[in-house]
């Protein structure tokens, strides 16, 4: 999605496909990973919610909540989008980027333009 600057994708998976308990340690672990990532990188991070079980909206809200709780110093920006695919399934994605990233305007613009293009349905001629 982002070509004007370096970007990475964050994947949080449930390999055993068991119902996840509300474990505060998961939030702490994810935030620690984000903190370490951004300490070492001036890159953008793309977060895409898995859609296989229909709980992508819940995942997106939870991740945004965790992120908002964490970033009380406003060091980062998060930009979220919801894109319906051809089957009408909502796909949630987010761009997370440090506010001091010299390419922030370009990265956010490219992310939003890509999301807008993906939301537009091609016209039949």
Q: What is the pLDDT of residues 13-72, one digit of tens each?
A: 666 767 766 677 888 888 888 889 988 888 888 888 878 888 888 888 888 888 888 766
The pair phi, psi for residue 8, each rounded to 5°, is -130, 160
Provide the pLDDT for residue 67.
82
Does 124 have pLDDT greater than 60? no
What is the pTM assigned to this prediction?
0.78
Given CA atoms 116, 92, 4, 105 in this order, what sign does their dihedral have? positive
Provide the pLDDT for residue 2.
46
Residue 16 is classified by DSSP as T
Buried b (16+ CB within 10 A) or exposed e, 84-106: eeeeeeebbbbbbbbeebebbee
* Model confidence band, residue 79 (pLDDT cutoffs 50, 70, 90): very high
Does 113 have pLDDT greater than 70? yes
Provide the pLDDT for residue 109.
94
Q: Are 5 and 106 within 8 A, CB to CB? A: yes
Q: Are 43 and 6 within 8 A, CB to CB? A: yes
């Amino acid at each position: 999605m982002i070509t004007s600057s370096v970007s990475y994708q964050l994947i949080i998976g449930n390999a055993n496909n068991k119902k996840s308990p509300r474990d505060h340690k998961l939030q702490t672990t994810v935030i620690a990973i984000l903190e370490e990532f951004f300490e070492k990188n001036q890159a953008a991070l793309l977060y895409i919610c898995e859609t296989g079980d229909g709980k992508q909206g819940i995942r997106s809200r939870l991740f945004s909540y965790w992120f908002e709780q964490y970033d009380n110093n406003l060091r980062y920006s998060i930009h979220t989008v919801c894109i319906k695919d051809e089957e009408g399934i909502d796909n949630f994605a987010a761009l997370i980027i440090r506010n001091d990233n010299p390419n922030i305007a370009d990265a956010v613009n490219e992310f939003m333009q890509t999301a807008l293009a993906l939301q537009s349905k091609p016209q039949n001629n």
